[in-house]
Structure 1
Amino acid sequence: MTEAADRSRHQNAEVEQEKREEAGQEYAPISPIEGTPAPEKAYSVFTSAQKKWIVFLLTLSAFFSPFSSTVYLPALIPVQQELGITTTQVNLSLTTYLIFQAIAPTISGELSDTLGRRPVYLITFIIYVAACAGLAVQKSLAALLVLRMLQSSGSSGTVAIAFGTLADFTTSAERGSYMGVMNSFPLSSPALGPVIGGAIAEAAGWRWIFWFLVIFASLALGLMFLAFPETNRKVVGDGSIRPPALNRAVLEKFVSPKESWASSSEHAEGRKRNVRDMVPNPFRSVLIIFNKDVSIILLVMSIYYAAFYAVMASLPKLFSEIYGYNELEVGLCYLAFGAGGIISSILTGKIIDRDFQSVAKKAGIKVDRKKLEDMSKFPLEKARLKSIWYAMGLCIAATIPYGWTLSRRPHVAAPLVLQFIIGASNICVINMISVFLIDLYPAAPATATASGNLCRCSFGAVSTSVIDIMLTKLGVGWTFTFWGLVCLICFPLLEMERRWGHKWRLARFEDLMKKQEQEKRKNEPGDGA
């Protein structure tokens, strides 16, 4: 009877924990004194070495989506000539990629939150590899467009899943450093794409760009298949529960915690879910956007992302006209963005964690990096937005002069330095908001990331589609002045979030708890049953 009672209490605690997490609150397991976190239990049993290995795989997998969007750019003219299509038609392959890059994660991210990270990762990689192989041999516009859609659908899902995976085994206090490393190469990969793509196209022909992706992605798929452990907390808890066979890594004993090697039937019973819980709802990513606290930070991130892509997309046209550069030389100019992005991402991660500790100390809250804290009382908005103002201001201070500098046709070093600053500061803003977004939805981090991806990719698509018109109508100087001024309106928006976001977050949590309580009472049998 005692064991049965303990198991019942354990299951009830898990149900309560999941309810709280769904509202965007991080709670430690509740001790007998209500609201007091149980101090003895760490958030995750994954070792430091295992976490670093997982982060390496996440960095590798998240690299493909942004990289694939730009590695293809040097192939546009050769593809157009070989397939006998117009410039507008070949540009459709860019548009379709961006559209599905925004939409696909709403499905794959939600699916990974319900079924687990590992099986969804493998499925998306298989789709990606198959699409790249098809692109390497296709010979028609229809095949080009369909396969680019599939390529985008397979690669873009990995980004949302990567953020969700990271949230599975890191607490808010340590998440910044891990995310800084994980994001360093994926966020800089759009700048590396044209360089690598241009070199491959010139040396071996444009089809070898896609064969390169097939080979590279197949190696990543092999590593994921052999040595990527399941981390989804709905499947493995803190990592101590052995997942179902479908979710197990082949090299399980090398990459999974020792606690999970032997199945725990008692814990497994506590984790059973009905079929309805396992069916993904892609519209959940869309619904997240309509919460006040979330909508503000997504708007800010999307505006800065659009400004970033305005600079990126205009570079080939401007540098070829001003400096007479060929495709390879233009591709090399993107390295300024890439270097800024890599350095910024790593440093930003450390700044994010430092800000968290600083705000906690000022508020008199003791934080353990390895244990889950009660985020309902924590001034999360102040912690995550503490240093973002400097990055936002630096980005504006570099974007506006960038346009006027190019209009005077100076030595190429001047715009490249400004590109470095724009890349570094913009990536800093995006990283800080990405961490904040996961903190607001710790129980469904991949779904929350997918909502951010949907917004920012949509803004990025609009930005790339209008930048040429803006340059023609407004000129270089006023075009980037416009983007700098648009970024400026983000300051009052984030100030609103800093002041009232905590109140909105608690209200959202209380509303969800009320709805769940009403649902529970509705499903309870009547007295006459």
Structure 2
Amino acid sequence: MAEHQDIEIEQETRKDTSQIHIPKNCIKDTYVTDKAYSVFTLAQKKWIVILLTLSAFFSPFSSTVYLPALLPVQQELGITTTQVNLSLTTYLIFQAIAPTISGELSDTLGRRPVYLITFVVYVAACAGLAVQNSLPALLILRMLQSSGSSGTVAIAFGTLADFTTPAERGSYMGFMNSFPLSSPALGPVIGGAIAEAAGWRWIFWFLVIFASLTLALLFLAFPETNRKVVGDGSIRPPALNRAVLEKFVSPKDSWTRRTEDGSIRKKRTIRDMIPNPFRSVLIIFNKDVSVILLVMSIFYASFYAVMASLPKLFSEMYGYNELRVGLSYLAFGTGGILSSIGTGKIIDRDFQSVAKKAGIQVNRKKLDDMSKFPLEEARLKSIWYAMGLCIAATISYGWALSRKPHVAVPLVLQFIIGASNVSVISIISVFLVDLYPTTPATATASGNLCRCMFGAVSTSVIEVMITKLGVGWTFTVWGSMCLICFPLLEMERRVGYKWRLARFNDFTKKQEQETLKNGANTGD
């Protein structure tokens, strides 16, 4: 009996080890599968990534497309500036909190049903915002709008991790991140044009139309990818998780293969259907994760400090109206899009480079033995250049504006800030998913929680900082805060593997105790 239990524990531990990234020589005799990590075809992967890019676009975009409408909303509803700004604050707060629920739920129930629910909530909230006429309605609907859209980012990262290996993840994630990370800069441009041409309510009608089309695509042609539901994609999901156009977007194996043929899918219980948002919060307190989340949050806050201060600074210095201010954000957006795509390729190149240096052969289509891979070295290899460039551009931006130069100067610096900052956030986002391959959406939600909270603080204090310190010293402070991230990431690079090993050992002990407990309960 005891021997039988030991065999089960050893097998379970080996399977779990293949999903945990532990450095070389930390664990021996790890489990490595010869099967392809996913049976989704290249065309199906590209289609899924396109849908993910569309869906993840709405959360950051909805935050800033509304900015040009603040003044007309305030005037029409007869409210104060402080009251209308509450609609920004409430959006950011729920943007941070909501993914801890939807991300966790998608890791248990599956990506597809949670995606559909969140988009239905989002479309309904946007329609309500287009017709509301009071401050309470505005605030409540902005909360619902944020709750519906913000979960899409965490789910998108989780979905991508379902069918990509660490060796190929960077390129896919670079493309997927390009528009979501740059959409805060594109939002004011589109919002300003719509508000001027048709009125502020049409901003929300535009979102209703755009989101409804995306919802229709998800309903018809978004396949389930969650590995707890479909495995490598070869297990046919239950009806709730099944795409309408299943035969076009799902692997052929899943059309006929069901769990009864030997592929056992864990039955979902009522307990599985109740999300636990505290899992995302608890992830933050792991040493290896807390360091990279702090770095990402500081850079994200710095980015939003530059973004949030632009309307007032450009209107005062250059006499820009809402439309011209909105167009000024294109420098951020262009830099972000180009950087995200390029950074994705750099991430994959770094992975291959470190693997070659370590004498490890990597198969892009299979989940190789990550226990022998120096993950910290690979993921942080190129981030230093982007960090340095971002800090230099941010400080230069502040002192350039203090001298009121030709507008081309701050616009060029905005392009550099957008490109370098997005590069830093993209690299850390990929690293975060690698650290929690079995619950990537939950892990991403923890990152979203931290950076959105930092972003909310940043937008609330930037005007006070500029008034008290002046624009030059304000952005010097933000650049100096980003300098702290260099020793933090160096510490992560040097000792992060020890923290991950300790976390893995704790996880293994819990799995062993659970296995023994289940064996005792069943009388084996």
Please report the TM-score for the alignment, with normalisation by the length of structure 1.
0.94
2:166 maps to which residue?
A: 172
- Separation of aligned partners in 2, 1:355 and 1:144: 46
1:207 maps to which residue?
A: 201
User: Does the 8 Å CA contact 2:221/2:245 hold for their aligned counterparts?
Assistant: yes
- Separation of aligned partners in 2, 1:304 and 1:191: 16
User: Does the 8 Å CA contact 1:72/1:193 hold for their aligned counterparts?
Assistant: yes
What are the equivalent positions in structure 2 for 1:129-168 lying under 5 Å apart? 129-168=123-162
What are the equivalent positions in structure 2 for 1:346-495 lying under 5 Å apart? 346-495=341-490
2:3 maps to which residue?
A: none
The offset of 1:516, in angstroms, is 1.8
The amino acid of 2:447's aligned partner reads G
After superposition, the C-alpha distances for 1:203-254 in whole angstroms (9 at most, x for unaligned) are 1110000000000000000000000000000000000000000000000000
2:226 maps to which residue?
A: 232
Residue 97 of structure 1 pairs with residue 91 of structure 2: yes
What are the equivalent positions in structure 2 for 1:109-128 lying under 5 Å apart? 109-128=103-122
1:497 maps to which residue?
A: 492
Name which of structure 1's ranges 74-83 and 265-274 shifts more when overlaid on structure 2: 265-274
The change in CA–CA distance for 1:524 and 1:271 in structure 2 (over 3 A counts) is closer
The change in CA–CA distance for 1:500 and 1:204 in structure 2 (over 3 A counts) is same
Residue 59 of structure 1 pairs with residue 53 of structure 2: yes
The offset of 1:280, in angstroms, is 2.2
User: Does the 8 Å CA contact 1:131/1:150 hold for their aligned counterparts?
Assistant: yes
The offset of 1:376, in angstroms, is 2.0
User: Does the 8 Å CA contact 1:102/1:453 hold for their aligned counterparts?
Assistant: yes
The offset of 1:13, in angstroms, is 9.6
Residue 524 of structure 1 pairs with residue 509 of structure 2: no
What are the equivalent positions in structure 2 for 1:256-271 lying under 5 Å apart? 256-264=250-258, 265-271=260-266
- Separation of aligned partners in 1, 2:37 and 2:466: 51
The change in CA–CA distance for 1:528 and 1:90 in structure 2 (over 3 A counts) is closer
Alignment equivalent of 1:291, drawn from 286, 301, 306: 286
The offset of 1:85, in angstroms, is 0.5
The change in CA–CA distance for 1:504 and 1:430 in structure 2 (over 3 A counts) is same
- Separation of aligned partners in 2, 1:431 and 1:270: 33
- Separation of aligned partners in 2, 1:339 and 1:176: 20
User: Does the 8 Å CA contact 2:33/2:368 hold for their aligned counterparts?
Assistant: no
Residue 333 of structure 1 pairs with residue 328 of structure 2: yes
Please report the TM-score for the alignment, with normalisation by the length of structure 2.
0.95
- Separation of aligned partners in 2, 1:184 and 1:291: 28
- Separation of aligned partners in 1, 2:115 and 2:521: 44
1:219 maps to which residue?
A: 213
- Separation of aligned partners in 2, 1:190 and 1:526: 53
Alignment equivalent of 1:45, drawn from 22, 39, 54: 39
Residue 512 of structure 1 pairs with residue 476 of structure 2: no
The change in CA–CA distance for 1:17 and 1:71 in structure 2 (over 3 A counts) is farther
The change in CA–CA distance for 1:34 and 1:528 in structure 2 (over 3 A counts) is closer
User: Does the 8 Å CA contact 2:33/2:367 hold for their aligned counterparts?
Assistant: no
Residue 269 of structure 1: SS of its match in structure 2? coil
Q: % of aligned pairs identical?
A: 82
- Separation of aligned partners in 2, 1:25 and 1:49: 32
Gaps of 5+ in 2: 1-7
The change in CA–CA distance for 1:405 and 1:247 in structure 2 (over 3 A counts) is same
Name which of structure 1's ranges 313-322 and 258-267 shifts more when overlaid on structure 2: 258-267
The offset of 1:517, in angstroms, is 1.2
Residue 98 of structure 2: SS of its match in structure 1? helix
The offset of 1:522, in angstroms, is 3.2
How many residue pairs are counted as aligned between the two chains?
517
User: Does the 8 Å CA contact 2:128/2:141 hold for their aligned counterparts?
Assistant: yes
After superposition, the C-alpha distances for 1:379-402 in whole angstroms (9 at most, x for unaligned) are 000000000000000001100010
User: Does the 8 Å CA contact 1:66/1:189 hold for their aligned counterparts?
Assistant: yes
User: Does the 8 Å CA contact 1:21/1:442 hold for their aligned counterparts?
Assistant: no
List, as ranges, runs of 4+ consecutive aligned residues in structure 1 with deviation greater than 6 Å.
11-14, 526-529
After superposition, the C-alpha distances for 1:75-123 in whole angstroms (9 at most, x for unaligned) are 0010001111000000000000000000000000000000000000000
- Separation of aligned partners in 2, 1:478 and 1:130: 44
The offset of 1:268, in angstroms, is 4.5
- Separation of aligned partners in 1, 2:394 and 2:416: 9
After superposition, the C-alpha distances for 1:426-466 in whole angstroms (9 at most, x for unaligned) are 00000000000000000000000000000000000000000
After superposition, the C-alpha distances for 1:484-514 in whole angstroms (9 at most, x for unaligned) are 0000010000000000001111111011101
- Separation of aligned partners in 1, 2:109 and 2:523: 37
The offset of 1:14, in angstroms, is 8.9
1:188 maps to which residue?
A: 182
The change in CA–CA distance for 1:17 and 1:194 in structure 2 (over 3 A counts) is farther
- Separation of aligned partners in 1, 2:272 and 2:14: 16
The offset of 1:276, in angstroms, is 3.2
- Separation of aligned partners in 2, 1:368 and 1:483: 41
Alignment equivalent of 1:253, drawn from 247, 250, 267: 247
The offset of 1:15, in angstroms, is 5.3
- Separation of aligned partners in 1, 2:518 and 2:220: 43
- Separation of aligned partners in 2, 1:271 and 1:35: 24
The offset of 1:474, in angstroms, is 0.2
The amino acid of 2:86's aligned partner reads L
